[in-house]
A and B are shown apart, each in its own frame.
Chain A
Amino acid sequence: MTWRYKRRQEGGCVRGFFRRCRWFLKDVVIADINAAMGSLFRSEEVTLAQLFLQSEAAYATVRELGEVGRVQFRDLNPEVSAFQRKFINEVRRCDEMERRLRFLSTELGKAGNEPRPAGNVEAPDPQKMIDLESKFEALEVELKEINANKETLCRNLLDLIELQHILKKTQVFFQEAEAQSMRPGRERRLRARDAESDKRGLLVDSEPETAGGGGQAKFTFVTGVIAREKVPAFERILWRACRGNVFLRQADIEHPLDDPVTGEQVHKVVFILFFQGDQLRTRVRKICEGFRATLYQCPETSGEREQMTVAVSNRIRDLKSVLHTTEQHSLTQLQEVALDIDSWQTKVRKMKAIYHAMNMFNLDVTQRCLIAECWCPVKDIPEVQAALARGTERSGATVPSILNRMSTSDQPPTFFRTNKFTSGFQAIVDAYGIATYQEVSPVPYTIITFPFLFAVMFGDAGHGLLMAVFAGLLILFEKRLANTDVGGEMFSTIFNGRYIVFFMGLFSIYTGMIYNDVFSKSLNLFGSSWDPGYPYGFGNEGEPPQVYNIEDCLGNEGVEIGDGEDQMSEFPTAAMEYHTPYPFGLDPVWQVSENKLVFTNSYKMKMSVILGVAQMFFGVILSTFNHVHAKSYISLAVEFVPQVLFLLCIFGWLVFLMVAKWVTFYANSSTAPSLLITLINMFLEFTRLPSDYVVEGRDAGENEYSVFGPSVQLATLQAIIQKGLVIAAVSSIPVMLLVKPFYLKFQHKKRANSDEEARQTHIAEQVGGEGGEVIHTGAQNGKVGEKTEGHGEGEDFEFGEVFIHQAIHTIEYCLGTISNTASYLRLWALSLAHAELSEVLWMMVLQMGVSMGAQQPAIGVAALFFLFAFWAVLTVGILLIMEGLSAFLHALRLHWVEFQSKFYIGAGYKFVPFSLDKKAMEGET
């Protein structure tokens, strides 16, 4: 509609056309880009806003704001310590609730209960806090009680089980003893025994019924249970402390017993100690205590023991049933908890976050109102206002909350609206530094140039295909993979960068096709341009005079072709059919040629420089958007323009020379000029012309001195152009260095003068005027003061500082241009390394199997099977993962250092909105 209207208005003349073009650019394209500023070109406009919240509505409003997640609160009382803030009590109560919930969830974990995941639960109203608190407290108390009961029961049970074992084991001891006592000649044997077997005798003597004469004291015994690992020490101590007068018998309990306190399984041993006298009894008891052995009363007669055994097993049965019921009870309790615990945790966490946010607010003088300051993206203000209205409505407050935009000299936070695709690339840039507010962001270009530069280094279509398929699968199943955390941190890193990896793979396929490398082999899609039958030509069935076939050639040194020394056939450059290069990428003939590296090195080196200069030039161009946005036209004129001149006059010229050399046909290819020497001589032989060389006897007529052609005139032309370029490049350095600081100084002086003048006139007015005007002038004076303040840096203008800053900047740029261009040669180095590695891997591993198969097919097939596995593992492990990582790092560096240093300051800080979103909250804690 607007189109047609405009056309009618402006008529069809040429001027009208230009006007329409301008209108289209300005009102359609630029306006649309501006409207789409939510995208990544520069960070979004963020404003400071003041919120007035009614005290009773504050909680509900902050809750709504948190659910929206679009504002970042500023701490208005940073000097107040955390313990003196207004809502610290509530925060503490939330902490207490969190502690209780943690207790409950550990209990759940012990019982092996999985909590039911709750969806997005809203934070509860503040009145509900007490309910929750009491609920959690009751649950905690109950569970603790159950646990205590369970522990006592378990301990009792353990005691009984141990007693049962004692009864069982001691029975054996006593039976043994009885059996011995039945034997005759006991006394005699006893006397004859040595010290060690004495113990046995003691045991026999200890039997009450066998204790004979009244002169002999009665043996007593103690029974108990001790942990198995303590037995040797226990035995030793007993022996030493009682001087061997105590006799110990022991028997293992076969099954480990549960320790009721720690819940661990312990192997224990039943022991029985025999001794004589009360003194020993106390000593033995002390030692037992020291070793934490539990002692049990064991009846002396076998009848009593049997009775006790029955009683004990009855009690064990009872206890077990009681324990079972208790456990059932606690399980049902925990099951109920498991249903709700996740939602409770979310609720409490949200509540705590809300009170934390409210602690940053200021109280109004009237105490009726909370004042908050927040950063808010301008685009989201309507949404925030809607949230405010909802909060007021839900809390039932009568007075609505108010949002006021404020102006500030503080730098707002940097906010980019990213999605799952762009966030990975944004993260790459953020890792270097968060963009300064509203600065040009490299992200939209990095999305492509990063994978592209990666692929220049990684160029192999086969490897790229594997990478793209892998990342493509991650993308295809991203919903399923996002919710399950399998594979740990390494996997999640790759998963988060899946779109980057996917693009890296795609571009690697493209660059691999250009390099004509597919797993280090070339494809001959269009037919090589090099004619192996030269000079007979392609397809021309010449009549060869000599019988010659491939079988003769294999391993047959006798066939003499070419120069005959190294059995090489060199295709002359004329063998390239009519100088028609291979239409897409490198000619496949290079893959099988021995001098492949001579060609690819020259090609890739030049390619690196061209890509590097292009990217750096683009970076310098991007800096203009920063200058225009900051309305710093002086920077545009005396920084941007000389920067461009410096870059283009040296390295732009080098790129031009490269292209010119490629395009020019050199009849005698050995006399083609060396570009490196040309570039060096541009500076070193600045004062000389090619005609001088002729005088010196060097031949300027050869095209050694010019890419354009073999004539002195052309060489002179090039030399003159180069002199002009050197002058332009060198003279741009002082412009970069000097003009801006002096301009700023001049500006500052001018401003200071005008301020001074203004002040003078005020004083004059004040002096000349009546007394009644004093107030008025005072007000105006205040205004003047404000104005100078408004200029900010104008007040404390330090020329030295500005100059040093500019000098550093200039030196950095000029040296950087040279070193960064050299730095781009890593593109060549890494792609060379990658191509060579994959070729070596092919030759050393897979080709071995193939050649084996040519001689002995049966063995070859078997060997090839394993060799292929080996080759595949190495391809993935070394060429894909390790080489991929290294190419990734180098691409990262090229973007961070070489590209971004041309325009990106990265001195901002991130916009972190207050959000009750589950993910955001987990990220915080």
Chain B
Amino acid sequence: MFNSSLFVALPIITIFWVAVFIAGFIVPFLIPKNPNRWTIGTMIATTAICCYVFWLIAFLAQLNPLIGPEVPNAVAAHMRRAWLGWKQAKTYDTCYPSW
């Protein structure tokens, strides 16, 4: 029951963008001669916020889905063949008739 998305993807991407955000405040001190150093810093930090929020929204929206995808049977069969290596497939009727 290891949730790889929550325990791997979420921390990695969060740490990455937080690091970029912090870099936005460090970079200006690394280029003290540049008259636009704070503009550059702001750009980096703003990029981090925008990109992280955008990723996070997509991630959270799929965390507890309210609906599942409806896939044409041919595609579903192909997915089973391609992803699961099934040569044959069982019908869903036998799997879960309840819903």
Taking Cβ atoms with an 8 Å cutoff, the residues of A that contact B are 32-33, 36, 38-41, 417, 419, 422, 444-445, 447-449, 452, 456, 507, 510-511, 514-515, 527-530, 532-536, 538-539, 541-542, 544-550, 553-554, 559-562, 567-573, 575-576, 578-587, 589-590, 592-596, 598-599, 602-603, 606-607, 610-611, 614, 659, 662-666, 669, 672
Q: Out of A544, A571, A583, A595, which one reaches B90, CB within 8 Å?
A: A544
Contact yes or no, A569 B88, CB < 8 A: no
User: 1/0 contact trace for B35-56 toward A, CB 8 Å?
Assistant: 1111100110011001101110
How many pairs of residues, A versus B, come closer than 8 Å at their CB atoms? Answer: 242
Q: Bound complex: CA of A665 vs CA of B58, how far in Å?
A: 16
Shortest distance from the beta carbon of B7 to any chain A beta carbon, whole Å: 9
- Give 11 A-B pairs besides A447-B42, A514-B55, A595-B67 with Cβ atoms closer than 8 angstroms: A32-B37, A39-B37, A422-B36, A452-B47, A545-B94, A553-B74, A561-B76, A561-B92, A598-B67, A607-B61, A663-B60
Shortest distance from the beta carbon of B77 to any chain A beta carbon, whole Å: 5
Residues of the B chain whose Cβ atoms lie less than 8 Å from the Cβ of A417: 35
User: 1/0 contact trace for B53-82 toward A, CB 8 Å?
Assistant: 111011111111111111111111111110
Q: Bound complex: CA of A569 vs CA of B57, how far in Å?
A: 27
- Known A-B contacts A39-B35, A444-B42, A445-B46; the reply to A567 vs B88 at CB < 8 A is no
Bin chain B's interface residue count: 35 or more
Contact yes or no, B70 A568, CB < 8 A: yes
Q: Bound complex: CA of A576 vs CA of B75, how far in Å?
A: 17
Contact yes or no, A569 B70, CB < 8 A: yes
Contact yes or no, B73 A514, CB < 8 A: no
Q: Does B19 contact A (CB under 8 A)?
A: no
Q: Out of A422, A534, A584, A595, which one reaches B39, CB within 8 Å?
A: A422
For the residues of B in contact with A, the DSSP-based class is helix
Contact yes or no, A39 B38, CB < 8 A: yes
Contact yes or no, B72 A532, CB < 8 A: no
Shortest distance from the beta carbon of B51 to any chain A beta carbon, whole Å: 6
Q: Bound complex: CA of A38 vs CA of B37, how far in Å?
A: 10
Contact yes or no, B61 A603, CB < 8 A: yes
Q: Out of A539, A546, A567, which one reaches B72, CB within 8 Å?
A: A567
Q: Bound complex: CA of A561 vs CA of B77, how far in Å?
A: 10
Q: Bound complex: CA of A580 vs CA of B42, how far in Å?
A: 34
Q: Bound complex: CA of A606 vs CA of B95, how far in Å?
A: 35
Contact yes or no, A606 B84, CB < 8 A: no
Residue among B42, B54, B88 with the most chain A CB within 10 A?
B54
Q: Bound complex: CA of A681 vs CA of B84, how far in Å?
A: 47
Chain A's closest residue to B75 (CB) is: A592
Residues of the A chain whose Cβ atoms lie less than 8 Å from the Cβ of B42: 444-445, 447-448
Residues of the A chain whose Cβ atoms lie less than 8 Å from the Cβ of B81: 549-550
Contact yes or no, A444 B39, CB < 8 A: yes
Residues of the A chain whose Cβ atoms lie less than 8 Å from the Cβ of B76: 532, 561, 569
Shortest distance from the beta carbon of B17 to any chain A beta carbon, whole Å: 12
Chain A's closest residue to B51 (CB) is: A510
Residues of the B chain whose Cβ atoms lie less than 8 Å from the Cβ of A529: 5, 62
11 pairs, CB–CB < 8 Å, chain A vs chain B: A32-B37, A40-B36, A532-B80, A535-B95, A546-B91, A548-B91, A550-B74, A561-B76, A582-B5, A590-B69, A603-B61
Residue among A534, A569, A586 with the most chain B CB within 10 A?
A569
Q: Out of A507, A567, A571, A592, which one reaches B68, CB within 8 Å?
A: A571
Contact yes or no, B83 A532, CB < 8 A: yes
- Known A-B contacts A32-B38, A578-B3, A663-B60; the reply to A549 vs B87 at CB < 8 A is yes
Q: Does B15 contact A (CB under 8 A)?
A: no
Q: Bound complex: CA of A61 vs CA of B86, how far in Å?
A: 87
Q: Bound complex: CA of A39 vs CA of B73, how far in Å?
A: 59
Contact yes or no, B71 A571, CB < 8 A: yes
Contact yes or no, A38 B35, CB < 8 A: yes
Chain A's closest residue to B80 (CB) is: A532
Q: Bound complex: CA of A528 vs CA of B83, how far in Å?
A: 9
Q: Bound complex: CA of A662 vs CA of B6, how far in Å?
A: 14
Q: Bound complex: CA of A419 vs CA of B37, how far in Å?
A: 13
- Known A-B contacts A549-B77, A596-B69, A599-B69; the reply to A666 vs B83 at CB < 8 A is no
Q: Does B8 contact A (CB under 8 A)?
A: yes
Q: Out of A41, A539, A546, A611, which one reaches B88, CB within 8 Å?
A: A546
Shortest distance from the beta carbon of A528 to any chain B beta carbon, whole Å: 7
Q: Out of B29, B72, B90, which one reaches A545, CB within 8 Å?
A: B90
Q: Does B89 contact A (CB under 8 A)?
A: yes
Residue among B46, B89, B93 with the most chain A CB within 10 A?
B89
Q: Bound complex: CA of A548 vs CA of B42, how far in Å?
A: 57
Residues of the A chain whose Cβ atoms lie less than 8 Å from the Cβ of B59: 581, 583
